[in-house]
Structure 1
Amino acid sequence: MKSGKVTRGAESTTKRWYDDACGTALALEFVGERWSLLVMRELVFGPRRFGEIKTNLPGISANVLTQRLESLETAGILVRRRLPSPANVQVYDLTRWGHEAAPLMRDLGRWAARSPRHDPMAFMSGASAMMSLQTLVDPARVTDAEMTVAFAMPADHFVVRTGRDGVTVVRGAEDRADVAFTGDTMAMRRTIYGKEGFDREGTLALSGDPAIAQAFVDLFALPEKADAAATG
């Protein structure tokens, strides 16, 4: 009688962390190393150059970032490509399969934000700030609130649309937005999550209808913290 052993093909040459067939175990092998999931987060809204990724991940060394990019590329999660002229620079981009992890990152972020240890005012990259909008929106209200909002950050621009599809984000500028915000991610959090208003010191500068801007801000809120019994 033949053995029931399952051959792993190319995977047999790769060292496995866990002797476990569960997809969760395999997922941890792909993204469980420090920085891996955050590298993916920085690519959710479009390709980035090496230096841009490194700038938005304070504390990561160039050597470690190179290793993580290589391992994610080997796993088929991201690809390297060169932008056409006149840019003509190498960038990293998520594959179609890599993009499928974005909802998982949002769900994980929503869960972790309920921890008393979560500090909403720690460093946050532009991509992380935009993902927080997708994560912390009120799903019961967003479908009836159709708006286009532009964010001009010091090193990045994003366009956020709300409505039947929830919150969608694309990297880039938009001249015909309903309202436009200017400021860094700290100002964004003070305005949107801290509810400190607009055009004040440390908050977002507003261009457009204040009523529309306030309606946008009202769609978002930090989640309630898990109680001590739940975390103990």
Structure 2
Amino acid sequence: MNDQSDRPLVIFGVGEMAELACYYFTHDSPRRVAAFTVDGSHLEEDRCMGLPVFAFEEIDAHCGPEEYDMFVAVGYARLNKARAQKCLEARSRGYRLASYVSSRSVTWPDLSIGENCFIMEGNIIQPFVRIGNNVIIWCGSLISHHVEIDDNCFIAAHAVISGNVKIGAHSFIGVNATLRDKITLGERTLIGAGALVAASTEENTAYLAAISPEAGIPSHRLQSLL
């Protein structure tokens, strides 16, 4: 269920997320990535992955919104606020925001997905799922039936989100986190890696799993277990 537009694409960012976005769009979508862009204050190199890098303040002169779309490749800084703000700026300048869904994920024809979403490989997304704008879902997660994910969320790898869960805007779900069915996460909920959440959450709350302690036994004494 990739975005089937063949309009050329400008990627905002030059970090690892931007490099991944360029690779995925190039090898698994009809899109041609034409250039990168960053805020002028962060413009240090004029090339990225062999493509030109332009100051965002001047991008219209090089790749205007009447011909080019944009993807904002920014991570989850400040609970996705940095990415959300840049999406707003891009829209205000007339750009349509592209989304990507890996052909190596399992989806169904009724999947509802917004702008500037990025869904990587190995995800299973069941029927009746609704995904808002500017949502990133890393690889290998299960998004069960009737799940609703609001705008500006980030779901890390191998999360399990059970059926009828509602995830509020600007939330972060960590690696290997599990959400039981029929719960609602308030806006700006942070679920840490490996956490199990079995009840609805309030806004601006965080749930963190305990970190495994060092066993106090030399590893060579446990080699028989390997």
Aligning the two structures, in what range does the TM-score lie when normalised by the shorter sequence?
under 0.3
**Larger helix proportion, structure 1 or 2?**
1
TM-score w.r.t. the length of structure 1 is 0.27
TM-score w.r.t. the length of structure 2 is 0.27
State the structure with bigger RCO (CA 8 A, min sep 6), 1 or 2.
1
**Larger strand proportion, structure 1 or 2?**
2
For the pair shown, which has the larger CA radius of gyration, 1 or 2? 1
